[in-house]
Chain A
C-alpha cells in the first residue's frame, strides 16, 4: 500500500525567508509525486509534480520540490515566502505500479508572517 507522511502539522516562517514543507512517501513501484495547495473552503490547486527526469521540479508561484529517492522524500520549497503563501499544503503520491488512486498526506498548514 502507498502512503504519504507530512510530519509537520504547521510551519511558521517570516515573509522573505525561505520555506520548506516536508513530505516522505512509501510506494511499491515508482512514484508519481504531487503538491497541492488549499485555501479556506476551496478545492485543491495543483502546484507541481514529479513523474521522471530532473529531481528538482519547479512549479507554480515560485515553488519547487526536490525528489530524493534514497530518502523517499519530496520536500516543497520556496526561496522567499510571501504572506499570501499562507495556506494548507498537501503532498500526494500515486503508485505507477497500478491503479489511479492518489493518496494524500495529512496536510501542513503554512503560516507566513510579516
Chain B
C-alpha cells in the first residue's frame, strides 16, 4: 500500500520556539493532505486541509497563524507550530489522499510534540 512518512516522530522543544513537522507521500502524489491533532485517549481532530499550491483550509477554532501549513509540492506538506506552548503538546498526524484514487486516506505514523 501507499506510504506516508512523517518526521520527526518525536520532538521536545522549549516554550516559545517553533517546530516544523513534515509529511511526505513516498510513492504517490497527493494534491490534498490533512493534518490532525489527537489528545490522549481521544479521537482525531481535523485541524486543516492542505492543498498543493494554495492556502490551507483551517477548521473552525484552529489558529492559522499558530499552525502554519505549507504544501509546496505534490509529495510534501509541512506543519509549523509557531511559538509553541505546553498546551500545544499533542500527537499530530497527517494523512494524504492519492490523487488518482478515491476514498482511502493513508496516514503517517504521527509526531509526538512535547513543549516544556
* Chain A interface (Cβ < 8 Å from any Cβ of B): 32, 34, 36, 41-46, 49, 51, 90, 94, 100-107
| Distance from A54 Cβ to chain B, minimum over Cβ atoms (Å) | 16
Residues 88-106 of chain B, each 1 if its beta carbon lies under 8 Å from chain A, else 0: 0001010101000011111
Report the bound CA distance from A51 to B34 in whole Å: 21
The B interface is mostly helix, strand or loop, or mixed, namely: strand
B49 partner, pick from A34, A45, A100, A106, beta carbons under 8 A: A100
User: Does B54 sit within 8 A of A, measured CB to CB?
Assistant: no
User: Does B6 sit within 8 A of A, measured CB to CB?
Assistant: yes
Report the bound CA distance from A72 to B109 in whole Å: 30
- Complex interface: chain A residues within 8 A of B34 (CB): 102
| Distance from A5 Cβ to chain B, minimum over Cβ atoms (Å) | 11
Number of cross-chain contacts by CB at 8 Å:
52
Residues 39-83 of chain B, each 1 if its beta carbon lies under 8 Å from chain A, else 0: 001111010010000000000000000000000000000000000
- Complex interface: chain A residues within 8 A of B32 (CB): 100
- Complex interface: chain B residues within 8 A of A44 (CB): 44, 93, 95, 107
How many residues does chain B have at the interface if contact means C-beta atoms less than 8 Å apart? 25
Report the bound CA distance from A94 to B34 in whole Å: 14
Pair B112/A45 contact, Cβ less than 8 Å: no
Report the bound CA distance from A43 to B49 in whole Å: 18
- Complex interface: chain B residues within 8 A of A101 (CB): 46, 49
Pair B91/A104 contact, Cβ less than 8 Å: no
